[in-house]
Amino acid sequence: MTEGQWQDLCAAVSGKTFEKPLTAFIADSPWLPEWTKKHSILDYYTSDDVWLKVNLEAIRSFPETIFLPGFWSEYGMCTEPSAFGSRLIWHEHELPFAEAVWHDSERAPVLNPPDVASAGLLPFALRRLQRCRPAIEAEGHSIRFAVARGPLNIASFLMGTTEFLTAMQCDPEGTHGMLEVITRFLEEWIQLQAKTIPTIRGVMLLDDIVGFIGPEDVRTFAAPYLTRAFAAIDSEVRLFHNDADGLSCAPILADCGVNLFNFAFHHPIQEMRERVGPTVTLLGNIPPRDVLAAGTPVDVEQAVECMKTVLGGDFGRVIFSCGGGIPPGVSSENLSVFLAAAR
């Protein structure tokens, strides 16, 4: 993102009220490559040149909005699980999949901590940023975020979601041991990203599994580990994405260090404001699939106007977006209509 966009983002999480809504979107491989109608998802993962061209095309096409985290070097959900030995399955036009490495439905595995400088896809993701950084900065943008999947999300890929949730109840001690290793890995991975790219001043964690558990389990199995991951580096913006159920985790986010929350569209924005408290800026929350992707331009415009009406013109601690990342199939027209309606 540009220096001006970064300053706007920092101002938004500090509580500045904007005369017109600030807009930002989480943009990654489910949307970016095939939005161009030139490249497949697999092209995007396997070519630095395609990755850079696609991201540059997006920022040039929509300079009035912020793409988060901006020039995200990722391989779908596979980056972090690959460091622990997951077998990765790739597809031309669909997201890849990381297979589980443990199949016991009741016990959490004892994990060996991977070397973040050499394990799995981590060096590929980081080296892509290093190679492309001069071209990114020549465009007037900087890499601002260290990014990772959250601890519960990674655990669910290593075990399987059902198996991990079962182990949480049947083997709490083993689950904590597993999450301890994953969190130490995350701390080191976030620190390595920031050390390698000195312009990084934000942390973005994505963990939908936090939305699968109740408030007590959130406090026990999620909060301590999220807090440590977000505190791995000194940062101005700490963005948490969970577009599963967000009500059980919302009250603990501020204490975990989160100051920007991207949440599911089915939670009304005023209800989420009450849950997260006054210090967390909200990123959302029109329906991503049914409106932004599948809706007509009129549907998109009406959804944005509805957000404005609900907020009563008070745009403090709210960044207009969709309730989740940009999904596949969002057209340039619908995104342009969203941005025009917000302005």
* Structure-block tokens of residue 337: 């209509």
Q: Which is it for strands 97-98 and 88-89: parallel, antiparallel or unpaired?
A: antiparallel
Give the range of the structural domain holding residue 126, as residue numbers without chain letter. 3-342
Q: Quote the CA–CA distance of 328 and 229 in Å, as a whole number.
A: 29
Q: Quote the CA–CA distance of 32 and 51 in Å, as a whole number.
A: 9
Q: Quote the CA–CA distance of 97 and 158 in Å, as a whole number.
A: 11
- Residue 40 in 3-state DSSP? coil
What CATH number should be reported for the domain holding residue 80? 3.20.20.210
Structural domains in the chain (count)? 1
Q: Running along the chain, 343 residues long, what does each successive block of 10 average in pLDDT?
A: 98 92 97 96 98 98 98 97 98 96 92 97 98 98 98 98 97 98 98 98 98 97 98 98 96 98 96 96 97 98 96 92 97 98 95
Question: Quick one: 109 exposed, middle or buried, by C-beta within 10 A (0-12, 13-18, 19+)?
Answer: buried
Angle at 205 between CA 105 and CA 209, to 5 degrees: 30
Q: Which is it for strands 22-26 and 318-322: parallel, antiparallel or unpaired?
A: parallel
Please give the pLDDT value at position 103.
Answer: 85
* Structure-block tokens of residue 108: 């959490």
Please give the pLDDT value at position 19.
Answer: 87
Q: Quote the CA–CA distance of 70 and 25 in Å, as a whole number.
A: 9
> Does the pTM exceed 0.95?
yes
Contact 54, 313 (CB under 8 A): no
